[in-house]
Structure 1
Amino acid sequence: MSQSIAAKRYALALFELAQKNGQTGPIQEDLLELKKVFQTNKELSQLLDSPRLKAAKKKELLAELFKGANQLILNTLYVMLDKKRLDEVVNLVDEFTAYSNDAAGVAEAKVYSTVPLTADESQAISSAFAQKVGKKVLRIENIIDPSLLGGIRLQIGNIIYDSSLSAKLERLKRDLIGS
């Protein structure tokens, strides 16, 4: 999550409008695509930051590039353009996702394992750990890490649950050396 106060304010305003209009899900999907565009096309950011291009032309460009996007998103982009805050788009998406997840009782989690998790394993991990962090469900991203040797390492925000074989061996080593 970002530390940008501006991004949090824009995200909260957009989230409240999305909730009011019952469009939280579709807007979040559009925002994730928007984030990909801004992260992969640095030239777009440079073009939109250019003082040579008038604001009206920039708005036309945004309208053309994101013509399939929700109007609330386009309006948010226009406001951010007017306030010279388009550099906060990626942070806005992250903040919106955090507000949306919080409202839905969802937490983002990274599960590090030596092999890909099956759907059943992911569901079991989600069920077991969601309650521990006060959420209904975990949205799991599985990351393959052969250095674990076995077991899993789960990260939910700042909380890490480590039941990997490498961590257990390290704890055993410290206990043997310490005694």
Structure 2
Amino acid sequence: MSNPVVAERYALALYQVGKEQNMSDKIDEELRTIKKVLVQNPGFINLLQSPKLSLEDKRNLIAKSFPNVSVPVINTLMLLADRHRENIMVEVAESYINRLNEERGIAEATVYSVRALTADESKAVSAVFAPKVGKQTLNIENIVDPNMLGGVKVRIGNRIFDGSLRGKLDRLGRKLTS
């Protein structure tokens, strides 16, 4: 079975537990943090996959690395370690987040801008672009790109809406040369 399918099954189980225990938001927040930690520290997964590390050592390492997470999340991480599926921890987190977002009509968006967006600007971007992708709202990650001349570039899934000044100049240049 491929990793995305396996990760989806673990995420679905965790999603169902979260719904039953009214912990969906808490689990979502914890998985976002865990995902961020694992992406920033790829050596952690490599360490967990080491054959020199016993199962008990793996479980202790996970427990010490994520001491404040809820029982369902820690149990899922332990189960993944027990079954030698440490390599899909990030995929499980992503799958859970995507499933919860889909239920709530939320899309993940990356907004590139010259400066950090204010809360009002983020709300405005969400109000404009969420309907374009058939969602109610956007969960925005703002990336400051000082190389942009102005405007914003919004990436939602595999769609890019380029309203940057650089993008407009590039399009104008292509139009003039054709």
Q: Is 1:79–2:71 an aligned residue pair?
A: no
Deviates more, 1:113-122 or 1:31-40: 31-40
1:114 maps to 2:120: no
Cα distance change on mapping 1:171 and 1:119 into 2, 3 Å: same
User: Whole-Å Cα distance in 2 between the matches of residues 40 and 161 of structure 1?
Assistant: 27
User: Structure 1: where are the runs of 5+ without partners?
Assistant: none
Offset of 1:81 from its aligned partner? 1.4
Please give the alpha-carbon distance, in whole angstroms, between the structure 1 residues aligned to 2:148 and 2:31: 34
SS of the residue 1:4 aligns to = helix
Q: Does 113-122 or 125-134 show the bigger shift?
A: 113-122
User: TM-score w.r.t. structure 1 length?
Assistant: 0.86
- Structure 1 residue 155, shift from structure 2 partner: 1.0
The residue number in structure 1 matching 2:31 is 31
Give the SS at the match of 1:107.
Answer: strand
Q: Specify the code of the residue in structure 2 equivalent to 1:166.
A: R
Normalised by the size of structure 2, how large is the TM-score? Answer: 0.87
- In structure 1, how many angstroms separate the alpha carbons of the residues matched to 2:36 and 2:150? 33
Displacement of 1:41 in angstroms is 4.3
Larger Rg, first or second structure (1 or 2): 1
35-44 or 149-158: which moved more? 35-44
Aligned match of 1:103 = 103
Partner of residue 17, structure 2:
17
Greater alpha carbon shift after TM alignment, 69-78 vs 27-36: 27-36
Deviation at 1:150, TM superposition (A): 1.8
State the shift of 1:66 in Å: 3.0
RMSD: 2.0
8 Å contact from structure 1 (residues 147, 166) kept in 2: no
Alignment of 1:52 onto 2:52: yes
Q: Distance in 1 between matches of 2:43 and 2:116?
A: 35
Q: 1:34 to 1:177 in 2, by over 3 A?
A: closer
**Count of aligned positions:** 176
- Code of the residue aligned with 2:28 in structure 1: it is Q
SS of aligned partner of 1:147: coil
- Gaps of at least 5 residues in structure 2 are none
Name the CA shift for 1:67/1:121 in 2 (closer, same or farther; >3 Å).
closer
Distance 1:173 1:141 in 2: 30
Q: Which piece of structure 1 moves more, 152-161 or 36-45?
A: 36-45
Take 2:44 and 2:60, find their aligned partners in 1: how far apart are those partners?
13
Q: Which residue number in structure 1 is paired with residue 124 of structure 2?
A: 124
